[in-house]
Amino acid sequence: MEVWRDLNQSRRWGVYSLWREGVSYPEHIARCPRTAAALESSPQWDVPGSGPTALFSILDAKTRIPPHTGPVNTRLVVHLPLIVPPGCRFRVGSEEREWKEGEAFVFDDSINHEARNDSDSPRAVLIFDIWSPFVTPAEREMVRAVTARIADYYGSVSAAGGA
């Protein structure tokens, strides 16, 4: 998409993934064992092919992540600010706030959101997905099953030369 052009293949925004859309990065996890252990004890959004996702996000100075939305509201996203110079802000819906080091916050990323670093230094945030507490264990199983069926369907359509 055009809105992401400035950040694609750019060092202005980088991530160091521990898990990404359900795929683990064992060498990264080995370098961050205490973080990985803490994340594994959280209610990770564990939907095969989609989650868990946990990563360190580095946003360079004078850089903005454009407004965007996530695909589902069965998960919530946690941001744990680690290195935050003054002038780093985050907006979800109509609420905007500055990150504060060590003060995590949780939001529904199906709501439009964006990040800004107006400072002269990079900022670092640990980002990971958890289940929404409003989704019951039975509903979690349904989400996993439906997601798997959708992936199967699109995989078979793709293999057949369809959309």
Tens digits of residue pLDDT in 130-141: 999 999 999 999
Q: Which domain covers residue 8, as residue numbers?
A: 2-134
State the pTM of this model: 0.88
pLDDT digits (tens, 9 = 90+) for 11-36: 778 899 999 999 999 999 999 999 99
CATH of the domain at 93: 2.60.120.330
Whether residue 146 lies inside any domain: the answer is: no
Domain count, the chain: 1
Which is it for the CA torsion 80, 141, 41, 43, positive or negative?
Answer: positive
Residue 83 within a domain? yes
**Cα-Cα end-to-end distance for the chain:** 19
Whether the CA torsion 87, 92, 97, 98 is positive or negative: it is: negative
Whether residue 159 lies inside any domain: the answer is no
From the list 67, 141, 151, 147, the residue with the least C-alpha distance to 111 is: 67
pLDDT in tens, 95-124: 999 989 999 999 999 999 999 999 999 999
